[in-house]
Amino acid sequence: MPYITVGAENSADIKIHYEDHGSGRPVVLIHGYPLNGNSWERQERVLLAAGHRVITYDRRGFGSSSQPTTGYDYDTFAADLNALLDHLRLDEVALVGFSMGTGEVVRYLGTYGSARVRKGALLGAIPPFLLKTDDNPEGVDGQVFEGIKAAIVADRYAYFKDFLDNFYNVDVLGGTRISDQAWQASFNVAVGASPYATYACVGTWLTDFRADLPEIDIPMLVIHGTEDRILPFNATAARLSALVKDIKVVSVEGGPHNIAWTHPDEVNDALLPFLADW
């Protein structure tokens, strides 16, 4: 499997696993918590068929990448992404993120600019700022995240059961848009992630991206489920039109958080024309 080295922790290199397939205009797909690059299978197939080069990778701490106890912040995540783009010498690239991966897209563009990026897409967006503060009343109360961290410490496996039930809105979509087997596959990937990363990443969800968003000067697409229980539409996607110059927001009616799996036709029907209009 291909890897790049992005740092070191004591005696061990920190390596990021990636996959690089196809040819044509490159698209980098950045996965959400607590999954890995394979979670894009319902998009990768159609992107390859449309003539794109498709690159996926596993965030540090997840999938087949190294599991260090350092670097769980969006400046480091964006640096890891930049190292991958450098390694593969990618230009004129589209960055597509889901959930936590939307933070990489926005922080990358806010930090490194758009010189090598043509377009960006956010699925189940975490920006602009999830934490409720005096100047961000639309956010979520901080005690919610303290409860999540406590649940992870108490029983990481039980936490993932509850999280993934709401990730897919299983009580509504189970047996139709999400099978027991697909849910179990996500659970298997989740529990294989670093226990340290599982806990540490919760704090990154509270990153304030409001300074990054006005710096974005490329076309952006947002696709978000109206019934997202993890990152509610009104606290996230609905606010982005006022903060990014060139952005289109597509709502997926009845969609849960992981619309890339449960509503692939709706997602792909929005994403492919956006990427085709180069």
CA-CA distance, 242 to 30, in Å (whole number)? 24
Q: Domain range for residue 45?
A: 3-276
Q: Is 12 exposed, middle or buried (0-12, 13-18, 19+ CB in 10 A)?
A: exposed
DSSP character at residue 22: E
| Whole-number pLDDT of residue 37 | 98
Q: What is the pLDDT of residues 62-117, one digit of tens each?
A: 999 999 999 999 999 999 999 999 999 999 999 999 999 999 999 999 999 999 99
Q: What is the pLDDT of residues 227-264, one digit of tens each?
A: 999 999 999 999 999 999 999 999 999 999 999 999 99
CA-CA distance, 112 to 106, in Å (whole number)? 10
Helix intervals (H) in the chain: 41-49, 74-88, 100-112, 142-154, 156-167, 170-173, 180-191, 195-204, 259-262, 264-276
**And the tokens for 43?**
């998009």
CA-CA distance, 254 to 217, in Å (whole number)? 31
Q: Which of 64, 65, 66, 99 is catalytic?
A: 99
Nearest to 228 by CA among 197, 244, 251, 201: 251
Q: Taking every pair of C-alpha atoms in the chain, what is the biggest distance, in angstroms? A: 49
CA-CA distance, 45 to 31, in Å (whole number)? 15
Nearest to 102 by CA among 74, 80, 138, 79: 74
Whether 170 contacts 178, CB under 8 Å: yes
- Residue 99 catalytic? yes
- Residue 228 catalytic? yes
CATH number, residue 186? 3.40.50.1820
pLDDT over threshold 90, residue 45 = yes
How many separate domains does the chain show? 1
Q: Where does the pLDDT of residue 151 fall: very low under 50, low under 70, confident under 90, or very high at 90 and above?
A: very high
Q: Which of 31, 64, 228, 263 is catalytic?
A: 228
pLDDT over threshold 80, residue 278 = no
DSSP character at residue 31: P
Nearest to 130 by CA among 119, 116, 141: 141
| Whole-number pLDDT of residue 1 | 85
CA-CA distance, 256 to 170, in Å (whole number)? 9
β-bridge partners, 19: 56
Q: Which of 31, 224, 257, 263 is catalytic?
A: 257
CA-CA distance, 228 to 124, in Å (whole number)? 8
pTM to 2 decimal places: 0.98
